[in-house]
Structure 1
Amino acid sequence: MWEFTDDTGQVVRADRRPERTVAYVRAGAALHDLGVRPVAVYGSDHDGDGIDPAKGGALPAAAVPCLGPGGALTDEALSATRPDLIIDVTYDGKSAYAIDEALAGRLGVPLLTLSVGGAPLTAILERFGALAAALGTELPAPGAVTGLPEAEHVLRAALAAAGPPPRVLALSGAGPDRVHLARPDTWPELRHLSGLGVPPLDPGPGPGLNWLTTGWEHVTRLRPGLLLVDSRAHASRPRTVTGAVTVPWNPEAPPSPAAYARFFTAVAEGIAARPA
């Protein structure tokens, strides 16, 4: 008997260790980084029929088919992949984010969800590592080189050489006149950046739990020197902000050390590229 307790508190059981996993693309990309390749992935309602390259990370699109948005999945499309485990993410610790839980129930396939919300980034990465290990991958021993500690060191070094710390603002384009500004405390990787000495700016009071939706003039008032810009396919391209260096930021990056190592390295390069 194989079992794993997911982040909704459900004990997911199977007669044997699952070998044919279907996953939300973000989770599937993370597991691929950790040595477990899903047989198929699906997106969110923001996504089209293919894999958003920002969410897919190093997932080989030619080898792992995308079934389209999870909310539009049919019994026939999912059952054709012959899954023995479905893996999704949860933001509220209660329900799956991208797939209709009733669909998994109708097919009798176990559904496992891991949190990508309120926990520290290190805890999120540990949970995905634990799932990958439970699915049979051989993870590096504790303390082994994963790329993430090195990227954090590079970031701290860039910050030390930069003089005054940059004014960092994370955002997602919402059209020609509107922009979503991230509230740093609600995003694990932005909280982690704060711990590394790069605290993103809080956009200020207003409606919205994760984002403050406002006009681009508010961005100018905040005087950012470094913009972390949503790189997902559904996000609008941002305006140019005078004096600010732009770094791609994926709010749905694969929760793996390799993916966040790439992000923190890019932030370090952005800090180093700022005008003197």
Structure 2
Amino acid sequence: MAWEFTDDRGVTVRSEHRPQRVAAYLRAGAGLADLGVVPVAVFGSGHDGDRPDPAKWGPDAPASVPYLGAAGALDEERLLSERPDLIVDVTYDGKHAYAVDDGAAERAHLPVVALSVAGEVPQARLLERFAELAVALGGRAEEGADRLAAAEERLRSAVLRAPGVRVLALSPAGEERVHLARPLAWPELRRLVDLGVRLTDPGEEGGVNWRTTGWGKAVGLTPDLVLSDARGNAEQPAALAHLPAWRTLTAEAPVLPWNPELPCSRRAVAAFLERLAGALEGLARPA
């Protein structure tokens, strides 16, 4: 039976048989694994190193899946040795796959499916598309749906019990700089806004997804809760403990790990919403 799937670039991949061996970008592969499609190999992006980033691969990802390296340093010989028949990636611009090099895919004669994780894509649509791909690859679609619905309801309730709490999402870039996230540039953050979370916008200056600035700007926004980038390419709280601005920022604001590249599955999103709801519940005013 013929198999085909049209990705979010408008590219249709066709095969005589359903692909059985998928190589995937870490984030995409973690989402597929949650939906019953375990990749035969995974690879990173240009931000990654020689080991898989735990934030992208997820704490429950199968340890036996080999990591082929990051974009630009992808071990093409190893890729071929795993005998994949499909590569799954993400796209931010709707035109190009993000992590896999076009040349590497062409040299390996492997088709690429890329699903959009751009900021304007509603999170529900993002998750739906990965579920559609998982089903097309023989996986399951509804894994985590009930848990996600319950997590969203819990978060709505937590917001109502902690009115006015200001939440700032950021990615530490060292002692001098910090990237402040634009809430509407990330599907996950946009969904938090939809659920009532008061996310702080860092202002118009800077790039599309982030405003890169000094720590003084972050301190001046006086958040009540900080979402700090948990990925390996960001500075982590333990490395910032000596920084006066970080100590001031977090003196009264709890810090919650935030992954801008969550595994693309309902279960992963639900787990994050549960943690955020718990943090807001801790900030709730006494009844």
Give the TM bin, normalised by the shorter chain. over 0.9
Name the CA shift for 1:59/1:86 in 2 (closer, same or farther; >3 Å).
farther
Aligned to 2:122: 120
Q: Which amino acid letter does the alignment assign opposite residue 245 of structure 1?
A: P
Deviations 1:26-70, CA, capped at 9 Å, x for gaps: 000000011110001001111112211111114535211111103
Match of 2:93 in 1: 92
Structure 1 distance, partners of 2:31, 2:128, is 12
User: What is the aligned partner in structure 2 of residue 42 from structure 1?
Assistant: 43
Q: Which position in structure 2 is the counterpart of 1:206?
A: 205
- Where structure 1 has 5 or more consecutive residues not aligned to the other structure, the ranges are none
Structure 1 distance, partners of 2:169, 2:61, is: 28
> Where does residue 155 of structure 2 map in the other structure?
155
- Partner SS for 1:265: helix
CA contact (8 A) 1:86 1:109 kept: yes
For 2:110, the aligned partner's letter is: V
User: Could you tell me how far 1:3 is from its partner in structure 2?
Assistant: 0.4
> Aligned with 1:244: secondary structure?
coil
Match of 1:139 in 2: 141
Partner of 1:247 in structure 2?
256
Q: Distance in 1 between matches of 2:8 and 2:101?
A: 17
Q: Which amino acid aligns with 1:132?
A: A
Q: TM-score, normalised by structure 2?
A: 0.91
How far, CA to CA, are the matches of 1:21 and 1:263 in structure 2?
26
Amino acid at match of 2:84: P
CA contact (8 A) 2:145 2:267 kept: no
Partner of 2:186: 187
Please report how far the alpha carbon of residue 75 of structure 1 lies from its aligned counterpart in structure 2 after TM superposition. Answer: 2.9
CA–CA separation in structure 1 for the residues paired with 2:95 and 2:141: 28
Deviation at 1:74, TM superposition (A): 3.8
Which whole-Å CA distance do the structure 1 matches of 2:155 and 2:75 have between them?
A: 44
Q: Could you tell me how far apart the structure 2 residues matched to 1:146 and 1:104 are?
A: 37
Indicate the RMSD between aligned Cα atoms, in angstroms: 1.5
Deviation at 1:134, TM superposition (A): 0.2
SS of residue in 2 equivalent to 1:112: strand
CA contact (8 A) 1:33 1:58 kept: no
- The match for 1:217 is 216
Corresponding position: 1:196 with 2:205: no
**Contact persistence 1:24–1:70 (CA under 8 A):** no
* CA apart distance, 1:14: 1.3
Once residues 174 and 43 of structure 1 are traced to their aligned partners in structure 2, the CA distance between those partners, rounded to angstroms, is 20
Q: Distance in 2 between matches of 1:258 and 1:165?
A: 28
> In 2, Cα distance between the equivalents of 1:33 and 1:61?
10
1:261 is aligned to 2:266: no
- The verdict on how the C-alpha distance between 1:259 and 1:104 changes in structure 2, with shifts beyond 3 A counting, is same
Amino acid at match of 1:204: G
What is the alpha-carbon distance in structure 2 between the residues aligned to residue 275 and residue 4 of structure 1?
A: 46
Secondary structure of the equivalent of 2:42?
A: strand
Match of 2:240 in 1: none
Q: Which runs of 4+ in 1 moved over 3 A?
A: 58-61
Q: Tell me by how many angstroms 1:139 deviates.
A: 2.6
* Structure-2 separation of matches of 1:189 and 1:106: 35
Distance 1:266 1:108 in 2: 42
SS in 2 for 1:228: strand
| Aligned residues between the structures | 273
Identity of aligned residues (%): 52
Q: Which residue in the other structure is 1:56 paired with?
A: 57
Residue type of the alignment partner of 2:149 = P
1:77-117 deviation per Cα after TM superposition (whole angstroms, max 9, x unaligned): 21111000000100000001011112111221111101011
CA distance in 1, matches of 2:79, 2:60: 19
